[in-house]
Amino acid sequence: MTAQLIDGKAFAATVREKVAAHVSKLKADHDLTPGLAVVLVGEDPASQVYVRSKGKQTVEVGMKSVEHKLDRDTSEADLLALIKSLNADPTIHGILVQLPLPDHLDEDLVINSIDPAKDVDGFHISNVGLLGTGQKSMVPCTPLGCLMMLRDHHGSLSGLNAVVVGRSNIVGKPMAQLLLGDSCTVTIAHSRTKDLPDVVRGADIVVAAVGRPQMVPGDWIKPGATVIDVGINRIDAPERGEGKTRLVGDVDFDSCAAVAGAITPVPGGVGPMTIACLLANTLTACCRANQLEEPEGLTV
């Protein structure tokens, strides 16, 4: 391997330390505790794991954590009523509704019922519009984490060619906006892109966010490029024994690491940064709600 490893686990720990330090200052100076409410509808096992981890880390940085676990068949009216009460609760500064929602619930309607100032996911249409027009907004956590690591590695991103593979509302599109905001020349590639290997070969920065295990091979990577792997895919690993599995990203790590200048591993790359940025966003929302100075370096 020739690429430098971008250690998201260590980076996330420094973000959490910064958040924790600012939270204790808010308490000491203003008797204020940032609060995050997480709403989970149904029993999706992966979502349950994420929600537990979010709650634990929220408490660890000194914030208030509230979890609302609702039955799978909760009505839209009941969910909207809960969000309304959280919007009105002055001790709650961030609201996150875990996605995906069960089919009978309208995801857009639910997300857009969250007060945009408390929308720590940055998914509300107002925040999407603010980000797209370069105004102050809540920024989606995973792309924010990717941008922090890219800025840390490169310093300035100005003029670099960035290719984002994947066009989801959660990662691909906001990632492209953030890179554009940092003056990259940005291409969003997706399943219908013609000559995808050649498009990726033109990139100084590749962000892979498609949800397809090991889809990007090393011979698509320009020598020296930076590769950010957003994918978290569980695949069978018979080499580890019968029935065993392992986590892999959307890029083929070994072949990409042999060519890239820097690369994020899976696990231990982008994943830990997402929750760290959720905590950072909750702190930012709390500071904004109370007209207090925002901590530096925790948002764009």
* Binding string, residues 46-85; x marks residues near ligand GUN by CB under 6 A: ----------------------------------------
Other Cβ atoms less than 10 A from the Cβ of 105: the count is 18
* Binding string, residues 225-264; x marks residues near ligand GUN by CB under 6 A: ----------------------------------------
Per the listing, tokens 């839209």 go with: 76
Among 141, 148, 162, 186, binds ligand GUN (CB under 6 A): 141
- Say what angle helices 270-289 and 8-30 make with each other, to 10 degrees: 20
Span near ligand GUN by CB under 6 A; candidates 78-86, 92-100, 145-153, 228-236: 92-100
Q: What are phi and psi of 89, to 5 degrees?
A: -85, 115
Burial class (CB within 10 angstroms; exposed 0-12, middle 13-18, buried 19+) of 216: buried
Among 58, 98, 264, 281, binds ligand GUN (CB under 6 A): 98
Instruction: Please list, residue by residue across 20-31, b when 16 or more beta carbons sit within 10 angstroms of its beta carbon and e when fewer do.
Output: bebbeebeeeee
Nearer to ligand GUN, 57 or 220 (CB): 57
Nearer to ligand GUN, 256 or 281 (CB): 281
Tell me the C-alpha distance between 273 and 143, whole Å: 9
For residue 97, state whether it binds ligand GUN (rule: CB under 6 A): yes
**Longest Cα–Cα distance in the chain:** 56
Distance of CA 93 to the CA centre of its chain: 18
Burial class (CB within 10 angstroms; exposed 0-12, middle 13-18, buried 19+) of 49: exposed
Q: Does residue 216 contact residue 193 with C-beta atoms inside 8 Å?
A: no
Q: How far is the CB of 26 from ligand GUN (least distance, A)?
A: 24
Among 12, 131, 148, 170, binds ligand GUN (CB under 6 A): 170
Nearer to ligand GUN, 141 or 273 (CB): 141
Coil, strand or helix: which one is 231?
coil
For residue 146, state whether it binds ligand GUN (rule: CB under 6 A): no
Q: How far is the CB of 34 from ligand GUN (least distance, A)?
A: 18
Nearer to ligand GUN, 111 or 257 (CB): 111
Nearer to ligand GUN, 61 or 273 (CB): 273
Rg (CA), the chain: 19
Q: Give me the active site residues, please.
A: 54, 98, 121
Q: Which residues bind ligand GUN (CB under 6 A)?
A: 96-99, 121, 141-142, 170
